[in-house]
Amino acid sequence: MWQLDWSKLAEVLTYNAKQPMIFSSGLFLFLFLGFSLIYMLLQKKDTARILFVTLFSYYFYYKSSGFYFFLLGVVTVTDFLLAGRMAHTETQWKRMFLLLASLGINLGLLCYFKYTNFFYQMLAPLWNGKFQPLDIFLPVGISFFTFQSLSYTIDVYRRELVPLNRLLDYTFYVSFFPQLVAGPIVRARDFIPQIRQPLFVSSEMFGTGVFFIISGLFKKAVISDYISVNFVERIFDNPALYSGVENLFGVYGYALQIYCDFSGYSDMAIGLALLLGFRFPMNFNSPYKADSITDFWHRWHISLSTWLRDYLYISLGGNRKGKARTYINLCLTMLLGGLWHGASWNFVIWGGFHGIALAAQKFWRNLLHKPKTATSKGIRKFFAVLITFNFVCFCWIFFRNTTFEASVVMLKQIFTAFHPEVFMQLIEGYWKVFVLMGIGYLLHFAPDSWQDACCRGVVKLPLLGKALLLVVLIYLVIQIKSSDIQPFIYFQF
């Protein structure tokens, strides 16, 4: 008969630092089935449903970062109280003080957990000290939920948003698990109005959600993970051991890998939210189709780029204080945006390159008096896309490598030891990788109508067909990812 192994069950359901729970893990998909059943039973009980989702979200974050989930609670409670007080304060300096308190708490936590060792390493030589990294755990998603909560307090300070009067609703907003650990960064003004609306998932929403989950799982669990482990990591770990052509395709492979990784997770977040009756804005819009670096940032990680624009670039003065100041603000915004991605100089260099490129493009447009809406067409657009894509790939070299020297070695191999004669050997040795890369880039550069047609096809399926498709998909992924589900139920004769 069937027996339950309680020790294995406890092991699976508790935090494991080596196997944090993510959307593409079999354990999450297994738990999500049970979560969905309870969620639907609470369809007409708003407060109970919101409380249930909030508790599940905190459990999800516990499975991702252990007992550091209390940081999520600290940020939530303090920003809720500060924003509420701010709304009832008329004196400007007092409102500013409350905003600075929110900034201090959020950015203080972010700086401590993410940047202490970075700044310690920079400052250690000043007192002739030897740098020994401190043992500081980086909670998953802290960059996302601090930015998301900050958008709420800043909007309340700007009087663009009326604060919530229920702590439970705000806790639900900050902790909502589909976007908690990897975005998209959802604005309070977009999400909060949906919280207390009657739960309704139309056939179109369900079908679109299933499509986005399928798309995200394919990008993340198939393309990104496979080409990363079997090709990209090998090239970037030892670029000097490979020819220039191998390094170049390693860079192109990484460009696809990081896109499929980030956008795949965002797609799954958007799809899961739709299944639960919530709408998230699009976060990636075929970024490698961009015909300029500005267009790229209109398409890449849209929730982050717009956050940086609205809360950092505009706060620095934007384009309101002269052309020279505009170029400086662009560079500063991208430098800080690079640092947001990680506590390392390679991210700062990456952000600096993008900032200089944005400033240079803006300078060139001003020089030629080109309107912002001007776009390339025909053969000019083709070369504009080609140049933009290769510039972005050039920047990815510095983003991916952990040292500047490794990036220089990779570029040296590409420009001085290209050896195109090994190309066919490369294809033969890594043909599976190149097939997946070909599929990935084909789907990325395909007309938008292709994706729309596929989405409509899933939407038009009957409800039972959509549900069956989703169940089959979850089953297949659980089988693929079965290593993260240790069997806690066994059969005994």
Angle between helices 463-480 and 26-41 (to 10 degrees): 150
Is residue 341 part of the annotated active site? The answer reads yes
> Which pLDDT does position 489 carry in this prediction?
34
E strands, 2-145, where?
Answer: 2-4
Spot the catalytic one: 88, 298, 301, 341.
Answer: 341
Placement of tokens 């008969």 in the chain: 1
Q: pLDDT in tens for each of the 493 residues of the chain?
A: 455 566 666 767 777 767 777 776 767 777 888 888 898 888 888 899 999 999 999 998 888 888 888 889 999 999 999 999 998 888 898 999 999 999 999 999 988 888 887 777 777 777 666 767 777 787 888 888 899 999 999 999 999 989 988 999 999 999 998 888 777 889 888 899 998 888 888 888 888 888 898 888 888 888 888 899 899 999 999 999 999 999 999 999 999 999 999 999 899 899 999 999 999 989 999 999 999 999 999 999 999 999 999 998 888 888 887 888 888 989 999 999 998 888 888 999 999 999 999 999 988 888 777 776 666 678 888 999 999 999 999 999 999 998 889 999 999 999 998 888 988 999 988 899 999 999 999 999 988 888 888 888 888 877 777 777 767 666 655 555 544 433 333 333 2
Can you give the pLDDT at residue 156?
A: 92
- Alpha-carbon distance 260 to 214, whole Å? 13
Looking at residue 421, the DSSP 8-state letter turns out to be G
Q: What is the pLDDT of residue 289?
A: 94
Q: What is the pLDDT of residue 4?
A: 57
What confidence score (pLDDT) does residue 482 get?
47
Cβ neighbours of residue 488 closer than 8 Å, sequence gap 6 or more: 4, 5, 6, 7, 8, 9, 11, 12
DSSP state of 182: T
Tell me how far apart the terminal alpha carbons of the chain are, to the nearest angstrom: 6
Say what the pTM is. Answer: 0.89
**For residue 150, what pLDDT is reported?**
92
Hey, which bits of 178-301 come out as E strands? none
Question: Among positive and negative, which fits the CA dihedral 109, 97, 187, 350?
Answer: negative
The Cα–Cα gap between 241 and 128 comes to 36
Nearest one of 444, 450, 452, 31 to 208, comparing CA atoms: 452
